[in-house]
Structures are given as C-alpha cells and as structure tokens.
Chain A
C-alpha cells in the first residue's frame, strides 16, 4: 500500500489530477466556508455585474453571486456523478462476475444485453431515459447509472474468464470453497484495479453528461445551481454578460480534467499493459 502510494506520488498526472479532485471535493463539502454568500440570495440592484472583488465571477440575472453558485453547483455535479458511477459499478461488476464465472446461457444473455446497450449512443439513451422518467436529480442518476454499466461488465467478464482458470482459484475450489466465496474472496479483489481506473474516468464522463442533460433542460432543475443549467441560461445574456456561461463551464472542465488525469495516472500505475508511452 505504502509502495503504491509512493509510486502514485511520482506520477505527475496522478498528482495534478488528485490535487484538482481534492480541491473540487473540498470546496463542495465545505461550500459554506468557501463562500459566505447564500446561493439563492437575490440582490436585484447587482444584477449581471461583471467579475469584481466583491463578486469574483460576477452576478447573474437575479443578482446572485455566481462564484457561490458555482461552488454549490459542485455539490450537485459531484453527488450525481458519484452515485451514478457507483450504480454502474454495482450493476456492471455484478453482471460481469456472474457472466464470466458461470458462462453458458447467462453469459450469452448478458452479452446480448450489452450489445443492445452499445447499439445506442450513450447520451442518446440517457436523454431518452430522462425524457421518459421525468427530470429530477434521482432520475438523472438512474439514467446515467443504467447507461454506464456495460464497460465494467465487459472488462470484469474478460478478467474473470482469465482468473477462473488460475491455480489459486482452482486450489480454493479443491479445498471446498463455495461459488460465492470464490467469486467474492478470490476473484473480486483481482478485478478491483481496472474497475477503479474505469470508475475514476467514468466520474469525469458523468459530470459532463449530467451537465449536458441539465444544459438541455432535462437534468437538475432550477433554482438548484447546476453547472449545465447555469451555462444554458447564461446564453441568453451572451452579448452583455458572457461570464454567466464562461465560469460554470470552466468549473466543469477543470473538474473533468482532474478526474481524467487521476484516472490516467491510476491506469499507468495499476495496469501497465495499457500504459500510454
């Protein structure tokens, strides 16, 4: 563990990504300490002001402090992305383990379902699901979680196929370990690394997807300070107050860069085969 952390510390992309992710997470958790303002507090006399000392990112059409809204927006983006990715991981890893371990009809069935999911562009499917379920944070999480599991299932299945023939699994079976014990105690720990890498990169993708849905008016609804919605609403004032669209978009980009760099660093560390030269 200590060695892994030391190697992680030496990976430039992991360190930069980790610092960005930590900063975003901390500012989301400690939002009331980061900014004294209330994200909903309106000050009509200050509306559409540009960046200043008092309002570092300016104010919106209701005179609300944009910096405060961007900081509180991190809570929405991060929580939606984290829960959605957790849902994908649970579904994908579960199905990947079962279909890889048991094979046969179950495997065939899971593979066909994966094929069907892959036949939809991911965002199209998420949009269609939210359109049917209705826009709310819960449904956005559900939609993103339900469309994102296929990658995990495929990666885990391939690893399980390789692992189940290995000696340590065979010998555990000979000693009388049950299927459940074999899967959970002997196989699962060996597929954690690729899943961790995919999940880190997946959080970045989920942040962009959530922002995209909110931008289309299908995600988290106002007055919640969702980044995507704030960018979309800002386009109405693009000529006079471009900061309204620029800053929340910048927040999305920086967070995603953070998760992507951390994911790339973890991949280099945990999966040397796919290391980018």
Chain B
C-alpha cells in the first residue's frame, strides 16, 4: 500500500509540472502584447514598459518560465495587479469559503444521490425508480446557475426563508463561537447562508451519483453472495444494507471523487450566483479586472487542490477495494 501511495505521488510530479507550465502559458496565450491588453491601447508607453518589467515580459520566454517555476516552488505566485497584495494571501483568504461550499455540497450530493440511487435500484421499474431517474435526468441537464436562480426565487424572494446573497462568518468559526459560549446565533446564520448555494450545487452532483449508485446496486444485488444471504433467511433490509450496499458503494467512491472536481468548477458559477466570497468569484472578478497574476494563481491553486483530492480518492479506493492491485 505504501509503495502504491509513493508510486502515485511520483506520478503526480509531472502532472503538477504540466499544470504549472499550462497556467504559465495562459498569460502568454493573450494575443498581442499582454501589457498593452492589460492597460488598454491608449496607455502611456512608460506604464506599458513598467508593467512588462513587473510581469517579466521583457525576458525570453524560457527564462520567464524558469523564473516562474522557481518562484512557484517557493510558494510565490506573484502580486495582484489590482489589489497590490501577494496572490497567495488573497487566494488562501478566499479558499476556506470555497472549501466550505464544496464540502457542504458534497455532503448534500452524497446523501441525496445515494438515497435516490438505492431507492431506484431496490424498487426497480416501480414509480419510485422512474421518479428518481427523472429527477436525476433533470438534475444533470439543469445549468447550476439556473437552478440557483430558481432556488433564490422560491426560497428567498417568495418564501423569504433564506438569505439571497453572501456569507457571514464561516460555519467552522461560528461553531467554535458556539462552543466557547458566544451563543449559537452566528452558526445558525452561517448555515442559513450556506444552505442555498450548497443545495444548488449539491443537487446537480447528486443526479450523477444517483445514476451510478443505481447501476452499481443493481449489479451487486444480482450476485451470488446476495442470493446466499437471502437464502440464509436474512431480512431484506439486512441483505441490502449490510451486504449489498457495502460492495455497491466502492465504485461510487471514484465518482464522488470526480464529482469533487465538478463541484470545484461548479463552485465558480455558484459563487457568482450567490455572491459567495470564494476563489471562484475572486477569479471571475480578477478576469473582469484583467488581473492576470491573480487569475493564474487562483487557477493553479484550484488545480493543485483538485489533483490532491483525486490522489486521496484513488488511495481511498485502493484501500476500500481488496480486489485492486497496487501495481
């Protein structure tokens, strides 16, 4: 197992290098002189020259790439043009909000997706099955921003139950406040702000998970050990929960891992819909301001996070599934 993890970590090195080079090339994809594009056609030549120097654009490309890689390895992603602060400070400041949203959405997605999938499989070809799969089909086809807007319309505008925009204190910090005796009001507010974005993003991911779970449970339920369990006279409930689900949910781990990437991508849009102050919204604002060091940094950090989560999921999968070979 340790060898497998070491092997996977080694494989991660070229991927991380590729990601960093890819993100570096982003700035160089800009047609024409990036400094002119950033400052506008009418900019003063001195300003353009100064920005070219700040961005290191006056050096040969290979040299720029070498310098960029060296800086990234040291954790230096440059300085935001617009906010004049280190990119890492800004991105890491927004990261907790994104992680909070992604994790909460993942919880929603897994709870909803697994329940719908199991229900559909256990009651195959019943109205429950058709209903669950209809919900799943709609879920995968709905753009997440539109679902968010519908949720705002219903729960905020019409019913007035939940706030429309923004995030107060983080859920974790608010929870700590509650435990240390500062009252639970902040936690309630934090959860209320989190509810709509997390439900919106989680619902889309739940749709895919439910289809996978349904297929996986159906496959397992047809196998010999399930027939044996039934033949032993176990209750149907025990057969499904103790025997069926345990094996059926192993492949689901992988799809849940892949969903995390989808959630990170979806989070960019969801954060924009709900004015959620995470990395996604930060990135979109930075794109609007043409603050490319910040865009590069945000993309790089999100991609690194995604690769690490994928690695953890693969290791978890290998650990859960005794059939997989570590080679």
Contacts and interface: CB of A to CB of B under 8 A. Distances in A.
Q: Does B associate with A? A: yes
A215 interface: yes
B99 to A, nearest CB: 14
Contacts of A238: 149, 152-153, 157
A215 B146 CA distance: 9
Contacts of A249: 142-143, 146, 149-150
A218 interface: yes
Given A215-B143, A215-B269, A119 B15 contact: yes
B149 A235 contact: yes
Given A119-B15, A127-B283, A246-B150, A232 B145 contact: yes
Contact of A133 (B31, B261, B265): B31
A134 interface: yes
B264 interface: yes
Nearest to A232: B145
A121 B307 contact: no
Nearest to B266: A123
A239 B156 CA distance: 10
A242 B153 contact: yes
A96 B147 CA distance: 36
A211 B265 contact: no
Interface in A82-134: 112-113, 115-116, 119-125, 127-129, 131-134
A277 B248 CA distance: 15
A254 to B, nearest CB: 8
Interface residues of A, number: 45
B268 interface: yes
Contact size range, B? 35 or more
Interface string B6-30: 0000010011101100110011011
Interface in B27-64: 27, 29-31
A217 B19 CA distance: 25
B167 interface: no
A158 interface: no
A95 to B, nearest CB: 16
A120 B287 contact: no
B295 interface: yes
B143 A133 contact: no
Contacts of A125: 299
B250 interface: no
Given A260-B137, A277-B124, A134 B265 contact: no
A74 B211 CA distance: 28
Contacts of B310: 119
A277 B269 contact: no
Given A216-B272, A238-B152, A121 B262 contact: yes
A245 B215 contact: no
A217 B11 CA distance: 37
A212 B267 CA distance: 12
A123 B204 CA distance: 15
A202 to B, nearest CB: 13
Nearest to A116: B18
A261 interface: yes
A257 B138 contact: yes
Interface string A39-78: 0000000000000000000000000000000000000000
B146 A231 contact: yes
A208 B268 contact: no
Contact of B143 (A134, A208, A260, A276): A208
B240 to A, nearest CB: 16
A68 B15 CA distance: 47
Given A131-B287, A218-B287, A124 B302 contact: yes
Contacts of A119: 15-16, 18-19, 303, 306-307, 310
B166 to A, nearest CB: 15
B141 A260 contact: yes
Contact of B19 (A116, A242, A253, A276): A116
Contacts of A235: 149, 273
Interface in B287-312: 287-288, 292, 295, 299, 302-303, 306-307, 310
B19 A120 contact: yes
Contacts of B141: 204, 208, 253, 256-257, 260
B140 interface: yes
A137 interface: no
Contacts of A123: 265-266, 268-269
B176 interface: no
Given A129-B29, A231-B149, A120 B140 contact: no
Contacts of A225: none
A252 interface: yes
A2 to B, nearest CB: 29
A216 B269 contact: yes
25 contacts: A115-B18, A116-B22, A119-B16, A119-B303, A123-B269, A127-B268, A131-B295, A132-B26, A134-B30, A134-B31, A211-B143, A211-B145, A212-B269, A215-B143, A216-B268, A217-B284, A231-B146, A235-B273, A245-B149, A249-B142, A252-B143, A256-B140, A260-B140, A260-B141, A276-B215
Given A120-B299, A235-B149, 13 more contacts: A112-B14, A119-B306, A120-B303, A121-B265, A121-B303, A123-B268, A128-B299, A134-B30, A211-B143, A228-B145, A238-B149, A252-B143, A253-B146
A-B pairs, 10 with minimum CB distance: A249-B146, A123-B265, A116-B18, A121-B265, A256-B141, A132-B29, A131-B287, A121-B261, A257-B141, A277-B218
